[in-house]
Amino acid sequence: MDDLTGRVRAFAEERDWQQFHTPKNLAMALAGEVGELIAEFQWLTPEQSAAVMADPDAGSRVRAEIGDVMIYLTRLADVLGIDLVETALTKLEDSARRYPIEQARGSAAKR
Amino acid sequence: MDDLTGRVRAFAEERDWQQFHTPKNLAMALAGEVGELIAEFQWLTPEQSAAVMADPDAGSRVRAEIGDVMIYLTRLADVLGIDLVETALTKLEDSARRYPIEQARGSAAKR
Amino acid sequence: MDDLTGRVRAFAEERDWQQFHTPKNLAMALAGEVGELIAEFQWLTPEQSAAVMADPDAGSRVRAEIGDVMIYLTRLADVLGIDLVETALTKLEDSARRYPIEQARGSAAKR
Amino acid sequence: MDDLTGRVRAFAEERDWQQFHTPKNLAMALAGEVGELIAEFQWLTPEQSAAVMADPDAGSRVRAEIGDVMIYLTRLADVLGIDLVETALTKLEDSARRYPIEQARGSAAKR
């Protein structure tokens, strides 16, 4: 993960793209890539979506979009000085308190 | 990163939420969280967005949203059988070929 | 529709919010609202989503989100000098040419 | 607006696409189109975004994306039985109460 952060940063700096990489712009780029990812799933049934990686074409598009989303999320976190994995772990602990296992089991209510 | 993947998976399984976690639904949840993240930046100038972490309230909201985005992205990749870091590195190499340093330097054109 | 455009414009001008209403910021606000809308549907089955308006709570949340999305889309189009209905009709004619009825019937392929 | 709703509906029915047009799927399609729209603005400065329609290429892409967003929003509202303009007007009245002119003037706080 640290290696990825460093490589994404080097990629941007080599191209002198830091000027474009404000948090605002990177959040937009992230949203744009998530839009492309969601488009891959929009007409699929839940079952088809679960089998998407078995289709070589769709699977490779999904993989590429996931890669793009991760790149922009990594870059955004780096620019903000946020440790992505640590922040996700902290948030997961918060969620564990908000959704105690006994009450939350099997329910999608108000997540 | 592997630890995060495992913990997110355990979090879902303990609550019997696998039934909701189709790739289609997780892509939607990811998009919903990215929508909350982008809302934090929508009225900020580029300069204000660059300083967002210096504001304790906004900074902590941004951190929480980044955490949520990372959690759903990790879960989606796990359900799809995709290695998030490896896939991002592969995509970054593709991008390096598509945007050679000399031509891409300083230009936002058609990225 | 013209009435809506005028009222949304007046709403912004009375609050001196034109300064925030660049197309860039409005596109972000639109994306944020669409994120809230999509969150209403993320854990629903296709069947549950089709019946969402029969649930008073969920139905009223969906209605409010649709309203917000329409407000920002109307404002964005106004700021850009675009006629929303006319532009949609023109785009629909393009789509009719790209997806001839005979070939497109019943197929979600590459829409 | 009623004409647009009817034409979008006919477009879908002629192609037998009602089967794909659940509210869930249409919300995803809307999010995908908004992602394409936001991508048009992501690297622009606020000033460049305000002048985007003066650029023939970018302007025509923005117009096309706005058209797509409006088409899916119209279709989603139709499938849900929601009157788009009326719902936006109602929501605007709510917002007028939540953001009284005197307090809200010139402030982007917590919108």
Residues of B whose CB is below 8 A from A19: 106
* % of chain B with per-residue pLDDT over 70: 97
- Pick from A11, A59, A56, A20: which is nearest to A37 by CA? A59
pLDDT for position D108: 75
CA distance linking residue D111 with residue D109, whole number of Å: 6
Residues 45-104 of B with CB under 8 A from A: 46, 49-50, 52-53, 62-64, 66-71, 73-74, 76-77, 79-82, 84-85, 87-92, 94-96, 99, 101, 104
DSSP-H helix ranges across chain B: 2-14, 23-41, 46-50, 56-80, 84-98, 101-104
Q: Look up residue C88 and give its two tokens.
A: 């949609």
Give per-residue pLDDT as tens, D15-62: 999 999 999 999 999 999 999 999 999 999 999 999 999 999 999 999
pLDDT for position B72: 98
Residue C28: closest C-alpha in chain B: B42
Q: Is the pLDDT of residue A109 over 70?
A: no
Residue C28: closest C-alpha in chain A: A28
Instruction: Quote the ipTM score.
Output: 0.96
Q: Is the pLDDT of residue B95 over 70?
A: yes
* % of chain D with per-residue pLDDT over 70: 97
CA distance linking residue C17 with residue C12, whole number of Å: 5
Tell me whether B6 touches chain C (CB under 8 Å): no
- Pick from C46, C70, C31, D86: which is nearest to A46 by CA? C46
Residue range D2-104, CATH number = 1.10.287.1080
Indicate the residue type of D52: V
Tell me whether B110 touches chain D (CB under 8 Å): no
For A27, which DSSP code?
A: H
Return the CATH architecture of domain A2-83: Orthogonal Bundle (1.10)
> Cα dist. C77→B77, C21, C46, C59 in Å?
36, 11, 31, 27
Task: Please check whether residue C28 is in contact with residue B45, taking contact to mean a CB–CB distance below 8 angstroms.
Answer: no
Task: Please check whether residue B28 is in contact with residue A49, taking contact to mean a CB–CB distance below 8 angstroms.
Answer: no
CA distance linking residue B57 with residue B64, whole number of Å: 11
Neighbour tally for A49: CB within 10 Å? 22
* % of chain A with per-residue pLDDT over 70: 97
Residues of D whose CB is below 8 A from A32: 35-36, 38-39, 42
Measured at the alpha carbon of residue A100, what is the angle toward residues A95 and A106, in degrees to the nearest 5? 100
Q: Is B32 exposed, middle or buried (0-12, 13-18, 19+ CB in 10 A)?
A: buried
Low-confidence ranges of chain C (pLDDT < 70): 109-111
Q: Look up residue C50 and give its two tokens.
A: 């089709």
Task: Please check whether residue A68 is in contact with residue B91, taking contact to mean a CB–CB distance below 8 angstroms.
Answer: yes
Task: Please check whether residue C98 is in contact with residue D67, taking contact to mean a CB–CB distance below 8 angstroms.
Answer: no
Residue range C2-82, CATH number = 1.10.287.1080
Indicate the residue type of B24: K
CA distance linking residue C92 with residue A53, whole number of Å: 32
What value does the mean pLDDT take over residues A5-28? 97
Q: Is the pLDDT of residue A110 over 70?
A: no
Q: Look up residue A69 and give its two tokens.
A: 């989303």
Tell me whether C111 touches chain A (CB under 8 Å): yes
Task: Please check whether residue A11 is in contact with residue B97, taking contact to mean a CB–CB distance below 8 angstroms.
Answer: no
